[in-house]
Chains A and B, each alone.
Chain A
Amino acid sequence: MRADVQDDAGGRPLLVDVQGLSIGFAPAGAPIVQGIDLAIQAGECVALVGESGSGKSLTARSLLNLAGDGARVEARRFRIRGQDARAFREVDWRWLRGTVTGLVMQDALVSLDPLRTIGQEVGEVLSEHRILRGRRAIDARVIEVLGRVGIPDPEIRARQYAHQLSGGLRQRALIASAIAGEPDLIIADEPTTSLDVTVQAQVLEVLAQRVRAGAGLLLISHDLAVVGGIADRVIVLRDGRVVDSGTTADVLTRPRHPYTRGLIDAIPSFASRGRRLGPASARSPDRIAPLRHPPPARDDTVVLEVRGIAKRYARPAGFGRRALATTALDDVSFDVRAGEVVGIVGESGSGKSTCARIVLGLLSPDSGTVRLLGEPWSRIRETERRRLRPRLQYIPQDALSSFDPRYRVSEIIAENLAGLRPAARAARTAELLEQVGLRDDLAGRYPRSLSGGQRQRVSIARALAAEPALIVCDEPVSALDIGIQAQVLDLLCDLRARLGTALLFISHDLGVIQHLADRVLVFHHGRLVEHGPVGEVLTTPADPYTRTLLASQPRLEYGLPRHAH
């Protein structure tokens, strides 16, 4: 089969050669993806970047003819490894899948069949395409491939199920299942999106190894920074069209299109401190006071005082089970002062959410104390806490699920406006909506009919309604597209500058903390390993874990030196 592969000028085989690709669904409807050109060579990584709904996944899936039921795929040129794929029948596609193209999707927990072992999943492509015969030969290859993607003890792992593996190992197993048939092209659709940064760095390295070994890689991501470290060329999609494309260095340093410029500007980091992430154009209803940075002079009032809190989760001994206790939080102390933004960074399982729940008084610590505005807060009865409740508010990650599905936007906000007369309540609701940049005619809508960014704004308005001294923000922008994340972060900066509300801001994204926080707390395995001003901790960290975390952070600059030579 290799003989008919067309070579490009450089002599490297051209795996994918697509021109004028358009994909639509409804018989007469407008195409969702239009006029896309895509070429991938062996040993090259091409990144497809765009926000939700840009059509990047659809484009990638069309290379496998898996764009979905009823998809109409048209192209002037559609060649895969030199063959005209427009003439392919379903059997041809099926042969192609697994042997020429391999697919790696986002979350291995659901992208691997949860009822089958890792070994069965990785080996399926081998038996299905009769690449190897006999169980022993297949088992041997499975173990070899699992080893190749860096899974320790592959013999044991092959007999386990996806849910028994950690997130990183699971994702490696998914990659193994995609490359077991030795495909020339790997299509990776947001392969690291649900992973912690340190694990993300490792998984990206596994993919980079395949590229160095000669495979072509089509990497789909919403995150320019992730792509910067690995891609040779970048294609930026927006609403189904290519807005920018070129070598990674070109696109990242000299974006041709304002949209790409906007995407790059929207990435939070140290460099973005004090400036807007989103466009300050007429597009955002910018009736908010101009951004002031640094924030207004703070007094030294301690809003929140956390001393030595610890939490262990115990599982009682059951039938044939030993009792098990895990330490979620171990001897954590810190303060939050008025008007200050304190960031908490840490990976999953680091105890940051447990800490948030204790601070919010939803969970009581096993030991240690929390004081709010100088008064006892932990280990008191809920009725005693109620008086101070309005002073401490909460913005969760998933805004929608935090709204009672029966309530309209106005009712959601009004519920936090206790003790006001109806007229005053309506006026205050309108004022709050304006403050978070929402038109007041949204007040009568149900949140489920709003966009993600609008919902998060409603959530912010609801928190502000109580005029709190401190807001706990638990990953408030993690589920949002980068452009909307930028707007929400800008809004938080503005409000913080205007209202002087202190924020306890939890994020797995170091960039967000670098952009926003005054001080940072680094959590690892339930312990507070390092804390201090953001400028110190996240530039010259003292703790080895913080150093690893920092080294794993994807940064735009990463990709650049690689292309210098």
Chain B
Amino acid sequence: MPSPTLWSRILGRLLTSLVVAWASVTAAFLALHVLPGRIEDILAGDVDTPGLREAIAAEWGLDRSLPEQYWAFVSRIVGGDLGTSYVLRQPVREIVGSQLWPTVQLALTAGVLAVVLAVVVALLTAGRGRLSRTVASALELVLASTPVFWTGILLLMLFSFTLRWFPVSGGNGWQALVLPSIALALPTAGLLAQVLREAIEKTLDQPFVTTVRARGVAELTIRARHVLRHALLPTVTLGGWLIGGLLGGAVITEKVFGRPGLGSVTLGAVLTHDVPVVLAVVLLAAFVHVAASTLLDILYLLIDPRLRAA
């Protein structure tokens, strides 16, 4: 049963996350105002139609005082209004909404794949014979050091152009999801497996493992029942990094495979200086990141009773 201290820690963690989310919105607002040049010009991007600057100034209330503008900015974002893209002449919310799913699909599939791969490899190779460990750690190093786009290109070369098993590009059907997910998952899996295996080996050296062995518990049971939980702790702290890496990697992967999605939209927006879109995507990614790492931290609290102590 969760103790009062546990609840207060969870609540505290949630509050911190809210503060961070609010601060990232504030940072975005400040960035707009600190940058040289008029805000109208920054927001308009590469478009220059007569009357646009005045329209932007009216929409963003640029004639009002700074605190008023700030308040309006924060309340709009809280209300889910992400502004308008003057380049695409469409509300940002619609643009993001229509492209969100393919990216989420890609990141989720890759994330699950990476975690499963890493756990299996780490559990099977940690603390085993020298050879399997050397091979596994060399493989992990190579995977973690290979850029996503190169893995993608190699996969394309092999499976799409040579073997013709999967489509070269596009976003339709599960076939189009296979190669991008693998490309995105491999580097993450490599790094995750490295961390996990090191943690498992560290745990296997703990005195309590000897105690458990002295109770006659089988080696595999020891790993599953005792060691894995300990090894997950350092991995959970990597969770935030993992989410960020998957979101960022998704942008690159989409470009390699010509997949539609948030990445292509963002990339296009960056090149046309479509600030409202880029800002919205970045803030959205930050919110996802904050929410995910908050959940993971709470999970951490649940796994480790020592953190619940007063």
> CB atoms of A and B under 8 A apart anywhere in the complex?
yes
Interface residues of chain A, those whose CB is within 8 Å of chain B, are 61, 64, 66, 94-99, 101-103, 105-107, 110-116, 124-125, 128-129, 161, 163-164, 174, 177-178, 181, 187, 318-321, 324
User: Cβ of A113 and Cβ of B207 under 8 Å apart?
Assistant: no
Tell me the complex Cα distance, A321–B5, Å: 7
B163 at the interface (CB under 8 A from A): no
Q: Which of B4, B218, B226 contacts A116 (CB 8 A)?
A: B226
A124:B212 contact, CB within 8 angstroms: yes
- How many whole Å from B169's CB to the nearest CB in chain A? 47
Bound form: Cα–Cα A187–B218 in Å: 20
A124 to chain B, nearest CB (A): 6
Check if B210 sits within 8 Å of A163, measured CB to CB: no
Cβ-defined contact, A110 with B230, below 8 A? no
B211 within 8 A of A: yes
Q: Can you name 13 A-B residue pairings with CB atoms under 8 Å?
A: A94-B218, A97-B214, A97-B216, A102-B214, A105-B207, A112-B211, A116-B226, A128-B217, A129-B216, A163-B306, A319-B9, A319-B11, A321-B310
**Size class of the B contact interface (CB-based, 8 Å):** 20 to 34
B304 at the interface (CB under 8 A from A): yes
A110 touches B8 (CB 8 A): no
Establish whether residues A111 and B7, one from each chain, have CB atoms under 8 Å apart when the complex forms.
Answer: no
Task: Judge if B206 is at the interface, Cβ distance under 8 Å.
Answer: yes
Q: Which residues of B contact A (CB under 8 A)?
A: 4-5, 7-9, 11-12, 206-208, 210-218, 221, 226, 229-230, 303-306, 309-310
Interface contact B216-A105, CB-CB below 8 Å: no
Leading 9 A-B pairs by shortest Cβ distance: A320-B8, A103-B214, A97-B216, A98-B216, A98-B215, A125-B215, A111-B207, A161-B305, A94-B216
Q: Which residues of A contact B310 (CB under 8 A)?
A: 321, 324
Q: Given contacts A163-B305, A320-B4, A320-B7, are A103 and B226 in contact (CB under 8 A)?
A: no
What are the residues of chain A within 8 A of B12 when measuring CB–CB?
319
Check B207 against A106 for contact (C-beta < 8 Å).
yes
In the bound complex, what is the Cα–Cα distance between A98 and B210 (angstroms)?
Answer: 12
- B303 cross-chain contacts in A, Cβ below 8 A: 115
Contact B305 A115 (CB under 8 A): yes
Is the Cβ of A111 less than 8 Å from the Cβ of B211? Answer: yes
> Which chain B residues lie closer than 8 Å to A98 at the CB level?
214-216
Q: Determine if A113 and B215 form an interchain contact, defined as CB atoms under 8 angstroms apart.
A: no
- Chain B hits for A113, CB < 8 A: 208, 211-212, 226
CB distance from A393 to the nearest CB of B (A): 36
Instruction: Using known A-B contacts A125-B216, A319-B8, A319-B11, determine if residue A177 contacts B306 with beta carbons closer than 8 Å.
Output: no
Do A174 and B213 contact each other (CB < 8 Å), given the known contacts A320-B8, A321-B8?
no
Known: A110-B207, A163-B309, A319-B11. Contact between A115 and B214, CB under 8 A? no
Residues of A within 8 A of B11 (CB): 319-320
Q: Is the CB of B216 within 8 A of A66?
A: no
The complex places the Cα of A340 from the Cα of B208 at a distance, in Å, of 45
- Do B206 and A110 touch across chains, with their CB atoms under 8 A apart? yes
Residues of B within 8 A of A115 (CB): 226, 229-230, 303-305
Instruction: Report how far A514 CA is from B310 CA in the complex, Å.
Output: 39
Known contacts A116-B226, A128-B216; is A164 also within 8 Å of B211 by CB? Answer: no
- B310 and chain A: residue at smallest CB distance: A321
In the bound complex, do residue A103 and residue B306 qualify as a contact, i.e. CB atoms below 8 Å apart? no
A113 vs B221: C-alpha distance in the bound complex, in angstroms? 14
Are B208 and A112 in contact (CB-based, < 8 A)?
A: yes
**A114 lies within 8 A of B306 (CB):** yes
Q: Whose C-beta in chain A lies nearest to the C-beta of B232?
A: A115
Q: What residue in chain B is nearest A160 (Cβ atoms)?
A: B305
